[in-house]
Amino acid sequence: MKGHAIVPDVVDVAPAGTIDVEYDSGAIVKEGNELTPTEVQNQPVRVKWPSEKDAHYALMLIDPDAPKRTKPTAREWQHWLVVNIPGDDFKRGDILSQYVGSAPPKGSGLHRYVFLAYKQPGTLICDESKLTNRSGKRRAHFCAKKFAEKYNLGKPVAGNWFEAQWDDSVPMIHAQLTD
């Protein structure tokens, strides 16, 4: 994560654990590999990290490079946020922001897409607006560090990331973000 500047752009310290992520396309996230927006357009089917079965976790996916890495004026763009996940069973958590696949603007180059998992101190009661996968306006300027601080999450316990750049599926994703 240091070599890709995720430390310090997103987190202060690289998490010790790794989040294993697989998509229905067969794409697997492997610490900075390049995937296409087409491959990651649907919510992952498998997300696993070192977890305790009786603990709850928060999971997020963010793009620190919005709208482009050289000028990230919308850093961090929130692609997915789930809290109160029992163990690593992300499908049983409370969704604050529904999944939106990567959608870097045409000509903006490679973007980093960062998954982070945090162990919660208990069940969270969050006051953030819940965002559907059609909500785009309130996703910019999210800050993983501030969210973690607000809810006393400490440092992430696990992370992973991939990179993606524009492909022909991106206009469809942009069109779905109507509010």
Residue 143 has pLDDT above 90, yes or no: yes
Q: Can you give the length of the chain in residues?
A: 179
| Residue 37 contacts residue 177 (beta carbons within 8 Å) | no
d(C-alpha 90, C-alpha 5), whole Å: 27
Question: 77-89: per-residue pLDDT in tens?
Answer: 999 999 999 999 9
With contact defined as beta carbons under 8 Å apart, do 23 and 40 qualify? yes
- What is the per-residue pLDDT for 137? 86
Taking the domain 6-176, which CATH number applies?
3.90.280.10
Q: Is the previous residue joined to 37 through a cis bond, with omega within 30 degrees of 0?
A: no
Burial class (CB in 10 A: 0-12, 13-18, 19+), 12: exposed
Mean pLDDT within 105-124: 97
The Cα–Cα gap between 22 and 34 comes to 14
The mean pLDDT of the chain is 96
Task: Break the chain into its structural domains and give their ranges.
Answer: 6-176
Q: What average pLDDT does this structure show over 22-45?
A: 98
Mean pLDDT calculated for residue range 6-26: 96
Instruction: Note if the pTM is more than 0.85.
Output: yes
